[in-house]
Chain A
Amino acid sequence: MMKMLLRGAAFAALLAGAGDLKAQTLKMWGPEQITEPLIAELWKGIKADFEAANPGVKVEFIPPTGTISNGAVQAALQSDAGPDVVLTNSGIGRVTVVKNAKLVAPLTAQYENRGWKAKIYPWLYTELNGQFGGEIYEVPDGLDALGVWYHKDMFAQKGWAIPKTWQDFVTLMKKIDAAGVQPLAIGPRTTGSAGHLFGNLLQSASGTGAVGKAVGGKLSWTDPTMVTGAVRLRELVDTGLIKKEMAGLDLEGASRLWFTKRAAMFVAGPWFTANARKAGYDLANAGYAPMPSDLAGESKPTGGVGWSWLLPANSKQPELALKWIDFMLSDAVMKKRAQHAASTMIYPRELPGIEPPTPVLKDIFAAAAQGVGYNPSVYLPGSVLDTYFQVIQGLISAQITGEQGMAEIQAKMAAAQ
């Protein structure tokens, strides 16, 4: 009997030993659009490089079922069987949600210890450092720059051009409408898409300074400076330049309108190149310009941190996750990504000598080089975001006025503060 027990114990010890030798698996939430062959090819390459550099380590991608905005990331993290490292849409508004829920670990010390501070733009580090009293919970992977996409051939053929002022922009929209084309497509059922257009309108009407103060709670959303953007959106709906029916569209439906040229313009960021490629749209035909503004120097893209790495508080492989982030911030990986045809974003630090792989990305980078305004979807507190998106839907479906919408947002802001 004793012999049997000893044999059993020895076998168990052997199994435990074998377990130690077993490959460590790093489960990564992301990347988005991994089902697109070009993106899959890029990420499979990155995964292979990491695994080669870290023998015994296996990286497993968890295709995202959503973002922080729709609760998918939170649900995955709360399951306690979720990812070890997360790549998702970020920005202070979204990160606040998971930070307050203690779902993510602080990474402040790693910025110094692992040299991450030197691997992102200094202004970006300053911004991150100022968000949670000096504590940082994200590592930026890419920046967004949202502006107006248009069809070069359609505009050339009709003699249209993106103008400089808001009034001229409305005139252009009227001309497009008269030509039997939807002037502007929007899919507010996808919350992000709703925010892209509205953020652009706020930027155009109020300017970076005012929007920055409003998202930070230092300026009331009911202030006349801020209300103008919402009033303009409602006016575009009331005049039929944005169809009420758009309120029933999601990003995919609205993109379809644009890709099939039934809509002339669309507000999106560099990531839209992936959607375009997937839809078979000729990217050489895509033009990009910031939303026109009557305010001097305020016609610029909106954006901010678009995607970030987060370390779940319940990560089973925290060390490996940090190693992965190191790897992603390395020159080799960042340059590889920036030059790859699947590249869809602005990187968090300057990459000298790197040419964007598509012409429209060059336009976006050039526009962003002049500075980027605030996209409130990224900066608003989590508890306000939902109201913000619902208000945009309310404006597009003509249920509320601009003033009412901004009052709703302000009420939530006051409660959040």
Chain B
Amino acid sequence: MNMAKTESMVGAGRGNAARPLAGRSREDILVGADGAGSALFLMAPALAVYAVFTLFPIAVTFWLSFTDSNGFNTDAGFVGLENYRKAAADPILWQSLWQTLLWLVYHVVLAGGLGLGLALAIARLRRSQVFFRTAFFLPHLVSLAVVGVIWANIYDPFFGLLNTSLAAIGLGGWTQGWLSDPSLVLFSVNVASSWQGFGLYMLLFIAGLQDIDPSLYDAAEVDGASAFQKLVYVTLPGLREVMTFVMSLAMINGLKGFATVFVMTNGGPFYQSELITTYIYRLAFQSQDHGLAAVLCILLSVLAITITVVFNKWRARLRR
């Protein structure tokens, strides 16, 4: 770095106000002893917030996992790896882990798929696009707890909209116990959750579609490509970046699934819709076993980190 040039740039840019910095290089200012101090000073509020609201809770959770804490006892005893042993031997934990992975897949496919499908359907509309975009995005503005209540009523086996509609159109044989059938319940609740989530993914896909060069469609048209071929060879490759982003977002949202399950089934019947998140809540706030709940929090974090790392590596490989 040409120091004289830097000095003149700093001086010229700031006039008299920059006098105290005169004679010092950018490196001096930013990474020198004084600069580091200034940088730290400026970052301190953000660091403090990060430390208090992120690092400290992580550390406490980690510590709790080695104790017999019930969440309120200040004299929680150190129990070593006992909570980890209990977790490993807990069949409900493994069931909830498997169901969490299933939940994640359902969410990516249902919410992501619906978001993509609707984006493709309305992206070309000129006049009515704003209407449909708004209408489809509206569920995303409703809180998940409210969504849970709405869908629990839709699924009501005796009075619900779904079963009564099926019966009304002569498909009474298709009526189900949507929240009572062990093989359906997780999917049913996920539909409700995905219904709330697809609007955001749809907007992201629409933004992605708008970024695709229209001349590519013209070229495909000239080459005689069908609508399906344009979708496969122009649209989907053009959406690759958005798709990977939506997938990672959907996976993170999938892992965080809690509210709809909590409201609609509370993990039942007989743990068939239990997710790690709902099981953590059950352990921490119903059974007051904060030690075991902390182990599950760590497990969930490890799961989220693993999925993110693997997914990012896969994404990087796709780019190459």
- Give min CB distance, B238 to chain A, whole Å: 43
- Give min CB distance, B113 to chain A, whole Å: 26
- Give min CB distance, A270 to chain B, whole Å: 25
Chain B binding surface SS class? loop
Among A202-210, A243-251, A299-307, A347-355, the stretch in contact with B: A243-251
Q: A78-B72, A390-B271 are in contact. Are A262 and B158 (CB under 8 A)?
A: yes
B201 at the interface (CB under 8 A from A): no
Interface residues of B, CB < 8 Å — how many?
34
A397 touches B269 (CB 8 A): yes
B266 at the interface (CB under 8 A from A): yes
Residues of B within 8 A of A385 (CB): 286
A101 touches B72 (CB 8 A): yes
In the bound complex, CA of A182 to CA of B73 (Å): 48
B287 touches A399 (CB 8 A): no
Among B8-16, B17-25, B174-182, B303-311, the stretch in contact with A: B174-182
- Give min CB distance, B94 to chain A, whole Å: 16
- Give min CB distance, A198 to chain B, whole Å: 13
1/0 contact trace for A386-409 toward B, CB 8 Å? 100111011011011000000000
B269 touches A247 (CB 8 A): yes
B288 touches A396 (CB 8 A): no
The residue that B265 contacts in the complex, of A101, A189, A382, A389, with Cβ under 8 A, is A189
Among A7-15, A66-74, A161-169, the stretch in contact with B: A66-74
Chain B, residue nearest A257 (CB): B158
Chain B, residue nearest A415 (CB): B86
A386 touches B287 (CB 8 A): yes
- Give min CB distance, A66 to chain B, whole Å: 10
A239 at the interface (CB under 8 A from B): no
Residues of A within 8 A of B185 (CB): 248
A188 at the interface (CB under 8 A from B): yes
Residues of A within 8 A of B180 (CB): 244-249, 396-397
A109 at the interface (CB under 8 A from B): no
The residue that A382 contacts in the complex, of B271, B284, B288, with Cβ under 8 A, is B288
Chain A, residue nearest B69 (CB): A101
In the bound complex, CA of A393 to CA of B271 (Å): 9
The residue that B157 contacts in the complex, of A71, A245, A386, A396, with Cβ under 8 A, is A245
B270 touches A399 (CB 8 A): yes
The residue that B288 contacts in the complex, of A97, A189, A256, with Cβ under 8 A, is A97
A324-382 contacts to B, CB under 8 A, are 382
- Give min CB distance, A7 to chain B, whole Å: 33
Can you give 15 A-B contacts (C-beta < 8 A)? A101-B70, A101-B71, A102-B73, A189-B266, A189-B268, A243-B177, A248-B181, A248-B265, A248-B269, A253-B158, A383-B287, A383-B289, A386-B282, A397-B177, A399-B269
